[in-house]
Amino acid sequence: MYDIIIIGSGCAGMTAAIYACRASMKVLLLESELVGGQIAYSHRVENFPSVEAIDGATFSERLLDQATSFGAEFKFEAVSTLRESENGWTVTTDSGEYEGKAIIIAVGMKRRLLGVEGEEELTGAGVSYCAVCDGSFFANQDVAIVGGGQTALQDALYLADICKSVTLIHRREGFRADETTVRAVKNNPKVKMVLNARVTKIAGESSIEHLEIEDIPSGNITKMPVDGLFVAIGNLPATTPFKDIIELDGEGFVLASEDCHTSKKGIFVAGDCRQKTVRQLTTAASDGSVAALAASEYVRGLSI
């Protein structure tokens, strides 16, 4: 029996583990894929307080070392189900079952991938999924961004202030963004649009060199030299195992108050999978600390 089981080892989950352990809780931290979550792919982190510059993988490893140094138990296991039990909650993974008095869901989001040749190999070597995180590394360089929603267009404007040029590639003629943003992008002299087109290949050896772009109406393929590619076609919260247990919004994000309580007693949420506006390392760490303290108070209440 654990006091708190934390599902997900991103910044939110590992911060929660640190705070829960410091509150004298017995903590289990479960991760199905990669320690650190999406930030582990980042070539360089410069926007976390007191950390001048660090790569995402090292940042994640240090967080895990800190969490385990305080006593958190860590396991690489994928959670399949969560169900209520006599003493709290039972978490079923691909390797067994664990009992917890309280649960913190910190599973983050899974980015939507282009699914083209070269994407996986060049992620972190020119391919990025976060303009705010990585845009500064492409100062005065030529970049492209794929997407047609609000995020893609806002990212294009953000990158236009940093980069030499920005090419916005979208598979349709129209955009899923507000008209003010669309007008701002169209009127920005540093932003070029390539519409009714899609990226079919990302080419390069140790870093990105060019994209292969298909004109959808004609099927013609052209090469576009770029220094960087930003993919902004959306993210999906990794909350499917919990959809029948706690309340989610229409996109799958967990509905919770600012104290990170979900709709179900004993279950808390932290990080990018929570419905909110800003998703950054700092907000993930904030959620992690809030959720851990709330869960610890809940567990202590059970013991009274």
Q: Active-site residue among 3, 11, 21, 134?
A: 134
Query: In sequence order, what are the residues at sequence separation of 6 or more whose Cβ sits closer than 8 angstroms to the Cβ of residue 232?
Result: 129, 131, 145, 146, 147, 149, 151, 152, 155
Query: In sequence order, what are the residues at sequence separation of 6 or more whose Cβ sits closer than 8 angstroms to the Cβ of residue 267?
Result: 82, 89, 102, 103, 104, 105, 245, 246
Q: Tell me if residue 272 is catalytic.
A: no
Separation CA 294–CA 266 (nearest Å): 10
Q: Active-site residue among 130, 163, 260, 273?
A: 130
Separation CA 255–CA 194 (nearest Å): 37
Q: Tell me if residue 11 is catalytic.
A: no
Separation CA 188–CA 153 (nearest Å): 11
Q: Tell me if residue 130 is catalytic.
A: yes
Q: State the amino acid at position 149 in one-letter form.
A: G
User: Is-contact 287 274, C-beta < 8 A?
Assistant: yes
Q: Active-site residue among 11, 21, 133, 273?
A: 133
Q: How many CB atoms neighbour CB 222 within 10 A?
A: 12
Q: Mind telling me the catalytic residues?
A: 130, 133-134
